[in-house]
Amino acid sequence: MDVGAYLSRIGYQGPKEPTLETLRGLHRRHLFSVPFESLSVHCGEPITLALPLLYDKIVRRRRGGFCYENNGLFLWLLRALGFCVVGLAGRVRNRFTGRLGPPRDHLVLLVQLGSQRFLCDVGFGDGFLEPLWLEPGLEQPQEGGIFRLSLAGGVWVLERLQAPGEEGQLLYSFTLEERELEDFAAMCCYHQQAPSSIFACKSFCSLPQPGGGRLTYMGWRLIATRGGERTETPLQPHEIPTLLQHTFGAQLSGTLVPKDQASSRLRAQLCRAGASRGARG
């Protein structure tokens, strides 16, 4: 694997020494260049957590991936550049059901720079753009909101706030127990197959946009968000491959089968809510 090719892939031309400036630059360039996407799941490309395969997909074929892929390869890059970095396991809050996912639902990274520790995550989607200080209670404003970490009983929680001092929205939890990429193999299979996984239920591809906002392909829609406003453009099936290539740089090797289905968890929740309303009526 070639560090230079990886840096070229994400358009990074800054310093390479293991400093906070370098970490911030790499983190931002990765997020703006490598999509957060589930396309492989829906075009017949099995995902295997082997670094050479991830490198081939993301660097050579200029694709994206979900957390295990993007953060797994970013961890390799940081280590190759001399950073002290480890992988951690997290549990993501499902924005449709409000529940945390199963253990090892998410891979995040912890970087040590001298006496300071930073949380890095280039595989979450709509999250923070620059590394966060691992300090409980510290409110850290960025373009995507104000982020705050808290700690209770050995479990860290990441929240997003809309304004200082407000109650935050839970994004995910994690612990500081070091994990290797192969520790996530079972959950990688789960997210490709389980009817409760958003990656199996929805075909999507997403990138943040310069100046704020995000552009997301999902199912048969193109969704643009900026400044709290959201617009949706319907797509015909024949338009989707061209859109993915021109807008996200994603040229697929297989035939995409678009999908935008509610997860089994959400369907069960809606059924329970409907049954409850029927009983009250």
Active-site residue set = 67, 106, 121
Quote the CA–CA distance of 149 and 268 in Å, as a whole number: 31
Do residues 199 and 68 touch, judged by C-beta distance below 8 A?
no
Alpha carbon 141 to its chain centroid, in Å, reads 19
Task: Tell me the three state secondary structure of residue 198.
Answer: helix
The pair of structure tokens assigned to 177 is 């127990």
C-alpha to C-alpha distances, 83 to 79, 111, 120, 271, nearest whole angstrom: 5, 7, 12, 48
Do residues 85 and 111 touch, judged by C-beta distance below 8 A?
yes
In sequence order, the β-bridge partners of residue 70 are none
With the C-alpha atoms ordered 230, 274, 168, 114, is the resulting torsion angle positive or negative? negative
C-alpha to C-alpha distances, 111 to 50, 126, 250, nearest whole angstrom: 22, 21, 29
The pair of structure tokens assigned to 123 is 């595989």
C-alpha to C-alpha distances, 145 to 24, 37, 148, 264, nearest whole angstrom: 17, 22, 10, 30
C-alpha to C-alpha distances, 65 to 9, 116, 161, 270, nearest whole angstrom: 14, 29, 27, 29
Angle at 89 between CA 62 and CA 200, to 5 degrees: 55
